[in-house]
Amino acid sequence: MDSPFLSGASQAWAALGADSSLLERVSCGGASGGLPARLPVMELARATVAVCSLAAAELASLRTRRPVPRVRVDDEAVATAFLSDRLVRVDGRAWSTFSPLSRFWRTTDGWVRTHANYPHHRARLLAALGVPERAEEEAEDAVARAIAGLTALEVQESVYAAGGLAVAARGPRDWADSQQGAMVAGQPLLTTARIGDAPDRRLGDAAQPCAGLRVLDLTRVLAGPVATRTLALLGADVLRIDAPQLPESQEAHNDTGMGKRSTTLDLGENTDRRRFGELLDAADVVVTGYRPGALEQFGLTPEALAERRPGLVIAQLSAWGHYGPWRERRGFDSLVQVATGIAELEGSPDSPGTLPAQALDHGTGYLLAAGVLRALTEQHRTGGTRLIRLALAQTAHWLVHGLAPAPGKDEGFDAEHRMAETDSPMGRLRHALPPVSYDGGPVNWARPPGLWGTDAPVWSDS
Q: Catalytic residues, which ones?
A: 361
Residues 6 or more apart in contact with residue 3 via CB below 8 angstroms: none
Q: In what order do the strands lie in the sheet with 427-432?
A: 89-90, 427-432, 419-424
Count the Cβ atoms, other than its own, within 10 Å of residue 233: 27
Q: What is the DSSP letter of 93?
A: B
Q: How many whole angstroms separate alpha carbon 252 and alpha carbon 231?
A: 18
Q: How many whole angstroms separate alpha carbon 83 and alpha carbon 73?
A: 16
Alpha-carbon torsion, ordered 105, 109, 110, 114, to 10 deg: -40
What's the 3-state SS for 406-436?
CCCCCCCCCHHHHEEEEEECCEEEEEECCCC
Helices (H), 130-242: 136-148, 152-161, 172-177, 179-185, 223-233
Residues 6 or more apart in contact with residue 96 via CB below 8 angstroms: none
Cis before 392? omega within 30: no
Q: How many whole angstroms separate alpha carbon 378 and alpha carbon 314?
A: 14
Residues 6 or more apart in contact with residue 42 via CB below 8 angstroms: 32, 34, 35, 75, 78, 79, 405, 406
Q: How many whole angstroms separate alpha carbon 54 and alpha carbon 64?
A: 15
Q: How many whole angstroms separate alpha carbon 113 and alpha carbon 263?
A: 32
Please name which of 78, 50, 49, 40 lies closest in space to residue 400, comparing C-alpha atoms. 40
